[in-house]
Amino acid sequence: MKAIVYHKYGSPDVLKLEEVDMPTPTDDEILIKIHAVSINGSDREGLIGKPLYARLGGLRKPAYPILGSDIAGRVEMVGRNIREFQPGEEVFGEIPGYHGGFAEYACAPERTLAQKPASLTFEQAAAIPQGGVIALQGIREKGQVQPGQHVLINGAGGSAGTFAVQLAKLYGAEVTGVDNTGKMDFLRSLGADHVIDYTRQDFTKTGLQYDLILDVIAHRSAFAYPRALKRNGTYFCVGGSVATLFQVLLLGPWIKRTTGRNIRLLVVPQNRKDLLSVTELCEAGKVVPVIDRRYPLSQVPEALRYVAEGRAKGKVVITLERSVD
């Protein structure tokens, strides 16, 4: 099969279209013929090998040569223990380990897949999983956003952020979106009440305070966040620099005792339940998977370059050449 392969961390230039062996499903896996795969921050991180957690299992060179985690396609073959899916069915979801999707075929277990709703195209379905599930956990499940609360999303114009802005609005919050200069109007169009350009202003130094901050791209000292939170407010760190993640993990309990603010990591396991919940909202038109651009598989390097240049507004989706959506 064709796949976009890389053997060293670096810029999109290290990615090459190659012929590789088809993956073989284990007894507990499903082989999927991919029709669409979307790009997430995890692909950008896995390509350059930064932050350090992107090198898990492969410190010097990538442990797995194919990036891409959010897929939609058709079941080609099922392992012996698979009960819920059959060949020919349309499915979508995440690949465990966040790799293997920039290819014509990939394997995944039942627990991270779901049947693709007929009302969504393969591209729309592929745009939902990782970002949608992170946003659902951060805003609704763990964040428990209530009407009238003030919510700030840092990294609001990317994969998880675009879902988070829409969900926070859906549950009645007053929403501030933080991203780069070129995405300000885009964030307003998603429903953000206020926008902050991270290249010009530091949201922890405005004097404003929020009930909930969802940060997909944390890089500050853990001591910076309490000043942007109301008493009993919560800061969730989803991704970002390893130094910040460690500080949040180690200092969070002490910061809570001394300031009354919650500073926490948000760990989001890949799972079908949340995937179905956020997809139902998409089917009902309450949340939209925002697709900025589409590229063919051969142009994954161009697609990742577009994302890395800070231009992508929402999702960039790779459409496999043969698929007709």
Binder among 38, 149, 159, 247 for ligand NAP (CB under 6 A): 159
How many chain residues interact with ligand NAP (CB under 6 A)? 27
The answer to whether residue 97 forms part of the interface with ligand NAP (CB under 6 A) is no
The answer to whether residue 12 forms part of the interface with ligand NAP (CB under 6 A) is no
Which range binds ligand NAP by CB under 6 A, 40-48, 82-90, 99-107, 251-259?
40-48
Which range binds ligand NAP by CB under 6 A, 2-10, 72-80, 108-116, 150-158?
150-158
Between 44 and 55, whose beta carbon lies closer to ligand NAP?
A: 44
The answer to whether residue 319 forms part of the interface with ligand NAP (CB under 6 A) is no
Binder among 198, 256, 299, 323 for ligand NAP (CB under 6 A): 198
What is the 3 state secondary structure string of the chain?
CEEEECCCCCCHHHCEEEECCCCCCCCCEEEEEEEEEECCHHHHHHHHCCCHHHHCCCCCCCCCCCECCEEEEEEEEECCCCCCCCCCCEEEEECHHHECCCECEEEEEHHHEEECCCCCCHHHHHCCHHHHHHHHHHHHHCCCCCCCCEEEEECCCCHHHHHHHHHHHHCCCEEEEEECHHHHHHHHHHCCCEEEECCCCCHHHCCCCEEEEEECCECCCHHHCHHHEEEEEEEEECCECHHHHHHHHHHHHHHHHHHCCEEEECCCCCCHHHHHHHHHHHHCCCCCCCEEEEEEHHHHHHHHHHHHCCCCCCEEEEECCCCCC
Contact track, ligand NAP, 225-244, x by CB under 6 A: -------------xx-----
Task: Give dist(CA 119, CA 278) in Å, integer.
Answer: 14
The answer to whether residue 267 forms part of the interface with ligand NAP (CB under 6 A) is yes
Q: Cβ-closest residue to ligand NAP?
A: 158
Between 25 and 161, whose beta carbon lies closer to ligand NAP?
A: 161
Which range binds ligand NAP by CB under 6 A, 99-107, 129-137, 206-214, 287-295?
129-137
The answer to whether residue 216 forms part of the interface with ligand NAP (CB under 6 A) is yes
Binder among 93, 131, 252, 289 for ligand NAP (CB under 6 A): 131
8 Å CB contact between 67 and 46: yes
Binder among 47, 126, 214, 268 for ligand NAP (CB under 6 A): 268
Binder among 42, 121, 149, 166 for ligand NAP (CB under 6 A): 42
Binder among 217, 248, 282, 320 for ligand NAP (CB under 6 A): 217
Q: Give residues 272-311 in contact with ligand NAP (rule: CB under 6 A).
A: 310
Which residues sit opposite 238 in a β-bridge? Answer: none
Chain residues that interact with ligand NAP, rule: CB under 6 A: 40-42, 44-45, 130-131, 134, 154-155, 157-161, 178-180, 198, 216-217, 238-239, 266-268, 310
